[in-house]
Amino acid sequence: MVTTRLTTLTIAALAATFLATTAGSAFATPAWNASHSRRAEVNHRLGNENSRINQDRQDGSLSRGQAQQLHQEDHQIRQEERSMASQDGGHITRADQRALNQQENGVNRQISRDTGHFDATHPRRAEVNDRLANQNRRIDSERRDGDITGAQAHQLHRDDRQVAQEERDMASQDGGHITRAEQTALNQQENGISRQIYQDR
């Protein structure tokens, strides 16, 4: 009788272990295949976009708020890609890839709108930005020669950066170029900085 009872308990324990293992397997998340070609392509693009955002933030083309928003949008795309992969055995379908690429294209267009990098070679943009570059070189030269102080040079460079940012904002609203009226307004601001450089000497 004791033997029969032990046998019954042993069978029950084995059955419980089997059921637990089976249940665990049923609910286990499938292993992801992060190196799958379609996943790799999507994530490679996300990596490039993040690098572009960081570079544009570093050179002043994007504000901190713009960069944070763009990074957040990329993060959401990455999370969506992971969610898709978790439902498809660790990979994403061609339809998933197309949908994700469309979202990435949207982020790229937003970066271009935010930075004004549409047509930087447009003649009116080129004229304004050439003047800004010349003014920056003039400020650096005047500082090296001792004609202006470090504080004056810093303020003049900041004024130039503000004009450059305004030019990019204008371009982002005009299909990548600036109008003649905008060029005139920007040149007037640059004339004011040139007069300030002369007065600071």
Indicate whether 52 and 69 sit together in one domain: yes
DSSP-assigned letters across all residues of the chain: -HHHHHHHHHHHHHHHHHHHHHHHHHHPPPPP-TTSHHHHHHHHHHHHHHHHHHHHHHTTSS-HHHHHHHHHHHHHHHHHHHHHHHTTTTS--HHHHHHHHHHHHHHHHHHHHHHT-S-TTSHHHHHHHHHHHHHHHHHHHHHHTTSS-HHHHHHHHHHHHHHHHHHHHHHHTTTT---HHHHHHHHHHHHHHHHHHHHH-
pLDDT at 63: 79
Helices 123-144, 150-172: inter-axial angle, 10-degree rounding: 170
pLDDT at 120: 58
Give the model's pLDDT for residue 32.
52
Which domain-ending residue is among 85, 115, 145?
A: 115
The whole-angstrom separation of Cα 55 and Cα 130 is 21
Comparing CA positions, the residue from 107, 109, 115, 105 lying closest to residue 56 is 115
pLDDT band at 88 (very low <50, low <70, confident <90, very high): confident
Predicted model pTM: 0.46
* 23-78: pLDDT as tens digits: 444 444 444 565 688 899 999 999 988 998 898 888 777 778 888 889 999 999 99
The verdict on 110 and 154 lying in the same domain is no
Query: Which residues have CB under 8 Å from 200's CB, separation 6+?
Result: 142, 147, 148, 149, 152, 156
Q: Which domain holds residue 154?
A: 123-200
pLDDT of residue 66: 83
Domains in the chain: how many in total? 2
Instruction: State the pLDDT at residue 2.
Output: 44
Query: Does residue 156 lie in a domain region?
Result: yes
Query: In this structure, are 71 and 136 located in the same domain?
Result: no
Is there a domain that residue 6 lies in? no
92-129 per-position pLDDT tens digit: 999 999 999 988 888 887 887 777 655 556 788 889 98
Give domain status of residue 24, yes or no.
Answer: no
Give the pLDDT confidence score for residue 193 in this predicted structure. Answer: 92
User: Which of residues 115, 143, 165 is at a domain's end?
Assistant: 115
The per-residue pLDDT of the chain, averaged, comes to 80
Q: Name, in order, each residue with C-beta under 8 angstroms of 14's C-beta and a sequence gap of 6 or more.
A: none
Position 193 in a domain? yes
- What are the pLDDT digits (tens) for 152-187? 999 999 999 999 888 888 887 777 788 999 999 999
Same domain, 107 and 131: no
Task: Decide if 22 is inside a domain.
Answer: no
Q: Decide which of 115, 133, 155 is a domain's last residue.
A: 115
Q: What local confidence, expressed as pLDDT, does residue 139 receive?
A: 93
**Is 130 found in the same domain as 191?**
yes
